[in-house]
Amino acid sequence: MSDRAGRPDRLRVAVAAPLSEENRARVQELEPRVDLVVDPSFLPPMRWPADFAGDPDWRRTDAQQRAYEAAIDSADALYGIPDVDPGALARAVRANPGLRWVHTMAAGGGGQVRAARLTDTELQRVLFTTSAGVHGRPLAEFAVFGVLAGAKDLPRLNRQQRDHTWSGRWTMGQVHRQTVLLLGLGGIGRKVAEALHALGATVIGTSRRDADVSGVTTGVPGVTTLVHPDRIADVAPTVDAVVNTLPGTDATEHLVGKRFLDALRPGATLVNVGRGTVVDEAALLDALDSGQVGFAALDVFETEPLPVDSPLWDHDRVLVSPHTAALDGAEDRLIAELFAANATRLLDGHDLVNRVDTVEFY
């Protein structure tokens, strides 16, 4: 034990998600007080960077499963939710009364914590953190791509190229003259705001806490105005594009629904890089069919994988991305570095960054 109010001077971490030898070394270089408990043979091979669930056909032997769970049950902290499985997380929390902290690989790891259905006492005992912020720049690039694609009428260009049609010229939208409504100003939203502002767009952001009655105060770089989420339909007629970066919670479910979509300026662009449940897909399809939404770039969906019979697949105003916009070759390293920084904060008695709100689970 250390002499700091009885806090342990080392942190025993069970590596419950794939972590390369290089990144294990990086964690221990950044925070030498971490003891990593890891046996790579207990972890599924990754098929691509940040594939923390790993090969779905891979299985542990019974002996490996017992050893894997024993390592988890002896740890102060977990690097990853075991097998990205809420049920396995619940088992780990209940089997290990000394567990202090679980770091989730996803920016939206709060949803996985919620799905574990832990008791209030368990949620108070264990700290949960996410990898929010690691995915900010890749998702900001996709958001800008979507806004640009809508402004330049990518569906029309695709149709004309497919049909070998050389039409007359037409005036394309100019992002630097557009107003974009940005839903969510967390780590991802702030990167999106910076990127859109750099292109000259006027950005309206949403905030439940910071927007005043007039909606004109903002301390967020790149954002000119803040509006409460309850008022987004009021500003919808003034915007050319909407970018969602919000997490999936009870408060955000179907926030982008019929009332909001009906109020949009006709032909507006919608980009979703937050959670699929924020957008009412039935209402979106109606808006796409009517032209109220001119283009939708969607990286997330209400049900994933997107069902093969979903009309979104074949809609010529929709770009479907299979939840891959956040994937970056550097993601594994960035998550490891974020974990190491939080381990230092925990050992030094400071608050952790990216704490999961265990009321709304974001």
79, containing H or E segment? strand 77-79
Q: Can you give the CATH number for the domain in which 295 is found?
A: 3.40.50.720
Neighbours of 325 (CB within 10 A): 23
Residues 277, 130 share a domain: no
Q: Which residues are catalytic?
A: 275, 304, 323
What sign has the CA pseudo-torsion 283, 288, 291, 293? positive
Radius of gyration of the chain (CA): 22
Q: What is the SS3 assignment for 280?
A: coil
Residues 163, 99 share a domain: no
10, containing H or E segment? none
Residue 86 lies in a domain: yes
What distance in Å separates the CA atoms of residue 126 and residue 118, rounded to the nearest whole number? Answer: 10
Q: Residue 26 is encoded by which pair of tokens?
A: 């990086």
Q: What is the pLDDT of residue 95?
A: 98
Residues 163, 92 share a domain: no
Location of structure tokens 């890749």: 138
Q: What is the pLDDT of residue 137?
A: 95
DSSP 215: S
Low-confidence ranges of the chain (pLDDT < 70): 1-8, 210-218
Residues 159, 106 share a domain: no
User: 73 lies in which domain range?
Assistant: 11-134+329-347
Q: What is the pLDDT of residue 210?
A: 64
Residues 221, 89 share a domain: no
Residues 248, 168 share a domain: yes
Residue 210 lies in a domain: yes
What sign has the CA pseudo-torsion 26, 29, 35, 41? positive
Residue 117 lies in a domain: yes
Q: What is the pLDDT of residue 3?
A: 35
Residues 288, 176 share a domain: yes
Report pTM: 0.89
For the chain, how many structural domains are there in total? 2
What distance in Å separates the CA atoms of residue 218 and residue 224, rounded to the nearest whole number? Answer: 6
Residues 202, 70 share a domain: no
